[in-house]
Amino acid sequence: MNLGLKGKVALVTGGAAGIGAAVVRLFAAEGAAVVIVDKNKAAAIGLAAELKRRKMKALAIAADLTREADCRNAVSKAHRAFGRLDIVVNNAGVNDSVPLEATPHDFLASLQRNLFHVFAITHFAAPHLKRAKGAVVNVSSKVADTGQGKTSGYAAAKGGVNALTREWAIALAPDGVRVNCVVPAECATPQYERWFNSLPDPAAARAAIAQLVPLGRRLTTPEEIAAAIVFLASPRSGHTTGQLLHVDGGYTHLDRAATHGHVKWG
């Protein structure tokens, strides 16, 4: 399917690895110019170079997204480079395990890492998005729906992302800008793999998590998340806004009986 993205410009935060890199590659494959915003300068430059070798348009921007100036500059550089900005994907974030027992300062720092830049990037991009009648796709987490028990900061931030999706869908509808959100659960990202590998038995831990996913008893791939994000950003999703799309193999909303052999699948 042609998603109608040729000639569009998409800015992706956290775009150098994991879900973000999968999103960047798919946008580029669909003919969009991509702006890779990431704190990992080398990885962002490397991915941009890979795409350019394939005759695709890409720009790498190193940024500390906890800083307002870096958020402003990322949007400004993207617009200067390509003359327009059609799409923002707010993907950057980290489950930093800041629990209730942490200090209020630690909690605030978690919100700074995971929520502040979602607002700041969208704030600075909004004038360009309005001119383009563009789209915003936020990336949240099942933790906002289910809780996890030891990650108050991340849960609050992702709950905020969900709320901002609905708020901005209303605020930007008169300007023709659509705002949606993709909500992963157990996704096989490099960050998750590092956590598995920190455990005494990584293979057993990975298998145990996979068993909690009703559809296929496996983790979601970054490419599956990317496909949903790019579709929602595209004109093919032209009358969809304010939606929270869970791409999670049924993890979040299906009855837990499905993970304990009480329901037959297939």
Catalytic machinery residues = 154
The residue with tokens 């193999």 is 249
Query: At CB < 8 A and 24+ separation, what contacts does 77-84 make?
Result: 77/35, 78/9, 78/11, 78/35, 78/37, 79/128, 81/35, 82/9, 82/33, 82/35, 82/57, 84/9, 84/128, 84/131, 84/132
Contact 27, 91 (CB under 8 A): no
Nearest Cα neighbor of 135 from 61, 33, 242 is: 242
| Three-state secondary structure call for residue 87 | strand
